[in-house]
Amino acid sequence: MIYREKQRPQNRRRDAFTLMEMLVVVAIIVALAGIGGYHVMNQLRASQMDTARLQCTTIKKAVQTWHIRGKSGVPTMEQLITDGCLEKDIKTTNTWGKEYRIEINGNDVVVTTEGPNGEQLSSSMNTANNPAGK
């Protein structure tokens, strides 16, 4: 009895992917998602920092409005809202739940807050040189 090896046809079409091909594709997708997620989180953090800085500028302009209306001293956020210098829906804390601090040194209004890692975010403007906040 003679046994013949079965020969596979040379032009046989593959109907599926191998496990190795699938693993390579999944690994590439995971790597791209990881890199993309990292960049998205960095952009989100940068946007939150920019928002906090812009909020400092808004509060600073409200303090200038407070002084233009003839008030003196350092107002609280609540006073600025009550007096109409700030809109009622404005948040009195930043994205990370930290309070905004208002300081006045002569003609200079400084509004500061803390970022997520404790770094100081601020915006200062000299009211003598720029009374209208422009």
Give the strands of the sheet with 120-126, arranged side by side.
Answer: 101-105, 108-114, 120-126
Count structural domains, the chain: 1
- State the residue range of the domain holding 73: 22-126
Query: In whole angstroms, how far apart are CA 118 and each of 41, 43, 95?
Result: 18, 19, 13
8-17: Cβ within 8 A, 24+ apart: none
- Residue 114 belongs to a domain: yes
- Residue 17 belongs to a domain: no
- Residue 14 belongs to a domain: no
- Residue 10 belongs to a domain: no
Per residue of the chain (134 residues), give pLDDT as tens. 666 666 666 666 667 788 999 999 999 999 999 999 999 999 998 999 899 899 999 999 999 898 889 888 889 888 998 888 898 888 888 889 999 999 988 888 899 999 888 888 887 544 444 344 33
Find how far residue 2's CA is from the centre of its chain.
77
- Residue 9 belongs to a domain: no
pTM of the model: 0.67
